[in-house]
A = this chain, B = another copy of it.
Amino acid sequence: MNANPSSPPTLRDVAEAAGVHTATASRALNPKTRQQISAETARRVMRAAESLGYQPNSVARSLKTSRSATVGLVIPDLTNPLFPPIVRGVESVLESEGYNVWIVNTDNDAERERAKIESLRSRQVEGLIVATARLEHPLLRQLHEQGVTMVLVNRQVEDLPIPAVTGDDATGITLAVRHLAELGHTSIAHLAGPLGTSTGRLRARAFRHAVRDHELRDDPALTVECAYWSEHDGAAAMRSLLDDRRDFTAVVAGNDLIALGCYDVFAERGLSCPSDISVIGFNDMPFLDKLRPPLTTVAVPHHELGAEAARMLLDCIGDPSRPARSLLLPATLVVRGSTAPPITH
């Protein structure tokens, strides 16, 4: 169990031997928190600790007795259907380990985010799972410097070693552009999400690379940034593209809501999807198969994103010295009715 027989066994070794998370092992070994887990699990962990000759570090132990068995989950916009499956994924893992999850919704507002995270911290949550990250995020930098245990989900920050679980955005966009190229489209627009978010920036970059790889029209004016990941901003971006009389036959939208904003504009302008313009979304949020037309999109396993973020947080709680790492979950293309070959005039 212990990779290096000359070094003393660690909490992680005990956890592995007992087949539980380090966070669970830590609670099992602490009389003050033992009742938070099942008696059977506690026994298994104590037996493993005994057989390995594990000696708990008393400083670390004293830090851990203030455990609240609560984790905060920070969501930017609960009305975006992308987030509820992430929430459920997070809960499925944390609840089975005896944790409660408190969710706060920041509505994309930095002031609100600060107040809510402060309120969670003042109630001693053991860690945060954060879905609001922007590339430049002074608050997250500050929390990181203060040693707050955090995992990012869906988005990342720049230049900060905070663990993150995200979808493979670059591959997803590459699949979307390839699908349109194979249908015969040569002039494709991109309605990018906010470029201050890792998802917005990564998808926009991947779009540019894919367009060049397929030798399609490479025109920076065919990429328009949306201020928010919303139907409203997607519609505004599509209107501005159409008003500029840009020539394009397909759109890769930064996410599904932006794609739905395009649907609204097509209805306003008497355009037909996919015969006039093909559209691809991103996320595969619920109900897309029932839309008119059903939306072709990039699917990301959001429930799994939440579950993996929760597992990573448990690892961090159990072993705060663990180096940060990033986990990328695979994206796939779901072809539905919103993409078709371009009409040749």
Contact = CB atoms under 8 A, between A and B. Distances in A.
Interface of A: 69-70, 78-79, 81, 84-85, 87-88, 91, 95, 100-105, 107, 112, 115-116, 119-120, 123, 260, 263, 286-287, 290-294
Contacts of A123: 70, 123
B103 A102 contact: yes
Contact of A292 (B91, B116, B291): B291
A116 B78 CA distance: 19
Given A290-B260, A292-B291, A107 B81 contact: no
10 contacts: A78-B78, A78-B87, A78-B103, A88-B105, A95-B112, A100-B104, A102-B103, A103-B103, A123-B123, A263-B290
A91 B115 contact: no
A224 to B, nearest CB: 21
Contacts of A70: 119, 123
A70 B119 CA distance: 8
Number of copies of this kind of chain in the complex: 2
Nearest to A77: B84
Contacts of A81: 79, 81, 286
A88 B76 CA distance: 12
Contacts of A291: 287, 290-292
Given A100-B116, A102-B103, A79 B286 contact: yes
Contact of A104 (B101, B105, B120): B101
Contacts of A78: 78, 84, 87-88, 103
A120 B91 CA distance: 16
B105 A102 contact: no
Nearest to A291: B290
A92 to B, nearest CB: 9
Contacts of A290: 260, 263, 291-292
A103 B104 contact: yes
A44 B169 CA distance: 52
Nearest to A69: B119
A113 to B, nearest CB: 11
A319 to B, nearest CB: 24
Contacts of A84: 78-79, 84
Nearest to A111: B95
A180 to B, nearest CB: 21
A207 to B, nearest CB: 24
A163 B55 CA distance: 54
A146 to B, nearest CB: 19
Nearest to A288: B287
A74 to B, nearest CB: 11
A100 B115 contact: yes
A107 B88 contact: yes
Given A70-B119, A123-B123, A287-B291, A104 B102 contact: yes
Contacts of A85: 79
A32 B78 CA distance: 33
